[in-house]
Amino acid sequence: MMNFPEYKDSLRKLKTVVYSFGEKINNVVDHPLFEPHINSAGLTYELAHDPRYEDLMTATSHLTGEKINRFTHIHQSTGDLVKKVKMLRMIAQKTGTCFQRCVGFDAMNAIYSVTYEMDQKNGTDYHTRFKEYVKAVQRTDMMVAGSMTDPKGDRSKSPSEQPDPDAFVHVVEKREDGIVIRGAKSHQTGILNSHEMLIMPTEALMEADQDYAVCCAVPVDAEGILHIFGRQTNDTRRLEEGAGIDLGNIKYGTVGGECLTVLNDVFVPWEKVFMCGEYEFAGMLVERFSSYHRQNYGACKTGIADVIIGAAAGISQYNGAAKASHIKDKVADMIHMQETLYCCSIACSAEGSPTAAGNYYVDTMLANCGKLNITRFIYEICRLAHDIAGGYVATLPSEKDLKHPEIGKYVGKYHKGVPDVPAEHRIRMGRLLECLTGGTALLESMHGAGSPQAMKIMLLRQANLNHKFKLACTLAGIAPAEKK
């Protein structure tokens, strides 16, 4: 297993093509825009060597019998699924943001079971290939970016109907030694500090879309790949000399450093191709990946909520309002919503079951319930934090003003709350809340792992409404009509 310094060194060896603010970035590792994302992902390597977290952070590979980082593990029990949830909450408590390895983790577990079922039906050898790939990931402890979301173009049209065929990643050539793919992947979390990307279809496909039914592994610095770094709220603060307090979450930043990743005729050897034309399995892969990923949100987001609630409670103390009954009531509401989210993640893990391939899969209904709750409860938790903290969180002067020889005394004087707490502490806590509850960080709670409508579609699909109708008919003394 790699440690944090080894992880950073491994990134230096990559020749990833990156653009940000219209400029090509030659050194991602030491650039202030990317440093917080590397730090947060790096903690997943650092904690794996900490004896206090060994049970959560490590596992035994079912393929090799070796001790591995849990982020490279294929779930072998409901216990593994539960440990994953507990691990994600613990890391989020320490980073207050996204630590980026979950997407590739979920992609590996989804692809593992789907390739097995493809092989069982079609006599292909994708699963054998993929097991060898997983062994390589576990052996090198590489960070894998899960790459599912396509730009999608005109949402009213299928991939094969798009005016621009590159709106979805697709195969443009099949060779004796591999395939060539073209297109782009959007919102690529942590991809600039990943080693490889696992490309997957983004939706269920029809026969006409079979060129878009592609799943494969590609190095992030492969020829033909370029990454365009997305802007985040207050991102240029990191470019300011001596940036500190104004950053809020100083070491780990916000969200996961997302990119638009462009694939211009990228070659992939057959040993790294795990689906090529099997359109009928695209929907299965999307559903399994999405459910695994939705499991996460009641874990990592509750870990971040731990920090938000702590900051809100802390500011109420700094303001001298902690004992007010309405403040206590709001904090209690925040805790109630937070722990409800955590319950959903634990429940969908404990109710998981083995796939035909032998790895364990979450309860789809409960995973989707949890993520749908996230799209509502996290917003409400943030709203209550804003209510408790006060408007100063959004209007604070800069750190340079605080430390200015002439005006700093006024910033300190008029941002002080209770006498025994320095004004700088109150300002720092306000900046942290600004970072955790605003802009990009909040929007990710809505659309990460799919929009609310995607969860509702899954709930309706899993609910078995006809069974519920028959239950009601039985109690009402009605002979139910046969479903048409």
Closest Cα partner for 389 from 454, 435, 455? Answer: 435
Closest Cα partner for 102 from 321, 290, 308? Answer: 290
Q: What is the pLDDT of residues 303-359, one digit of tens each?
A: 999 999 999 999 999 999 999 999 999 999 999 999 999 999 999 999 999 999 999
Q: What pLDDT is attached to residue 210?
A: 97
Tell how far CA 354 is from the center of its chain: 24
Question: Using CA atoms, how far apart are residues 148 and 43, in angstroms rounded to an integer?
Answer: 24
Catalytic-role residue among 215, 216, 276, 300: 300
Catalytic-role residue among 212, 297, 342, 360: 297
Q: What pLDDT is attached to residue 480?
A: 72
Active site residue 293: yes
Active site residue 240: no
Q: Is 128 annotated as a binding residue?
A: no
- Output the pTM of the full model: 0.95
Long-range Cβ contact pairs of 356-360 (< 8 A, separation 24 or more) = 356/113, 356/116, 356/117, 356/120, 357/112, 357/113, 357/115, 357/116, 357/117, 357/127, 358/76, 359/74, 359/75, 359/76, 359/109, 359/112, 359/113, 360/75, 360/76, 360/77, 360/78, 360/80, 360/81
Q: What pLDDT is attached to residue 7?
A: 98
218 touches 197 (CB < 8 A): yes
Catalytic-role residue among 45, 293, 348, 434: 293
Catalytic-role residue among 72, 78, 97, 189: 189
Neighbours of 117 (CB within 10 A): 17
Q: Give DSSP secondary structure letters for 404-459.
A: -TTTHHHHHHHT--STTS-HHHHHHHHHHHHHHHSTHHHHHHHHTTS-HHHHHHHH
Active site residue 102: yes
List Cβ neighbours of 179 (8 Å cut-off, separation of 6 or more).
171, 173, 214, 216, 267, 268, 270, 273, 276
Helix 364-389 vs helix 452-462: crossing angle, to nearest 10: 140
Active site residue 297: yes
Question: Using CA atoms, how far apart are residues 460 and 463, in angstroms rounded to an integer?
Answer: 5
Neighbours of 457 (CB within 10 A): 13
**Tokens 């699909």 sit on residue:** 461
Q: What pLDDT is attached to residue 214?
A: 98
List Cβ neighbours of 24 (8 Å cut-off, separation of 6 or more).
17, 18
Question: What does DSSP assign to residue 96?
Answer: S
Active site residue 258: yes
Q: What pLDDT is attached to residue 442?
A: 77
Closest Cα partner for 254 from 29, 435, 28, 41? Answer: 435
Catalytic-role residue among 53, 98, 344, 355: 98
Q: What pLDDT is attached to residue 438?
A: 84
Q: Which regions of the chain are under pLDDT 50?
A: none
Catalytic-role residue among 7, 75, 102, 215: 102
What are the structural domains, with CATH classification, of the chain? Answer: 4-280 (2.40.110.10), 285-471 (1.20.140.10)
